[in-house]
Amino acid sequence: MDVKKIEATGYTWTEGGICAAQGIRANGLNCGLNPDKEKYDFALFASDKVCESAAVYTSNKVKGAPILVTRDHMAKTGGKMRAVIANSKNANTCNANGVEIAEQMCGLAAGALGIKSEEVAVASTGVIGCDLSIEPFEKHIDALAGGLTYDGGHRAEYAIMTTDTVAKELAVTFTLGGKECRLGGMAKGSGMINPKMATTLNFITTDADIESAALQNALSEITKLTYNCISVDGDTSTNDMILVMANGLAEMQRSPRQMLY
């Protein structure tokens, strides 16, 4: 299927990372998975409004529990998401109760935010095959959610970094439908990167109004020219994804839905 094109008039680099878009709050902290208390390992970001969302997942035959749970939630809601909860240090992969832990993580975020569990995506990165307990997340979810701010993107980014030597964040502004819109993102990854949905965690938010089907078409196509062209060591990971969320808070005069042909 050809990607339906949406025309935007240029773009300008800006600040804010994942929180550049209107209505996005984020936070990160150390919940004890990483023994270095100065290194964050638990992240959350959330939208003030339900988002139209799209995702691409690792092509590895072995998929971590967070991938299975996020994919299921996306299917149940038709791509309508509100938040992402994530951790580093432990990939929650090849664990007997991995799916249960991932679902519980979503439930913790949903309870703290007052939303549905199915509206939460979950991501984990780190060592494969290590036991993971829900206890560290239960102990720290109130502090994590209570510390969400509209400028907390860097804290969330720091919490998903593993062997990364630099933070990976960017943001742009652009005009669409007669309104200024913002798009921001954060990512992690420095190893186990191979051209089969290059294996990193990637989260992108925008306040543009774009329906999930159009987002999915665009994301699936652009992945072929971007993430699937990246290689570091030829290894494909088990956990990694790209998730795009659009909340429409830019209140454009003309919806991109009407720009599709």
How far from 181 is each of 7, 43, 192, 198, 209, CA to CA, in Å? Answer: 13, 25, 34, 27, 9
Label the pairing between strands 24-29 and 179-188.
unpaired
CA distance 115 to 109: 8
Q: Is residue 12 among the annotated active site residues?
A: no
Interior/surface letters 146-159, b for 16+ CB within 10 angstroms, e for the rest? ebbeeebbbbbbbb
Structure tokens of 247? Answer: 């909340």
Given the residues 58, 70, 199, 200, select the one marked as catalytic. 199
Residues composing the chain: 261
**Residues carrying an active site annotation:** 199
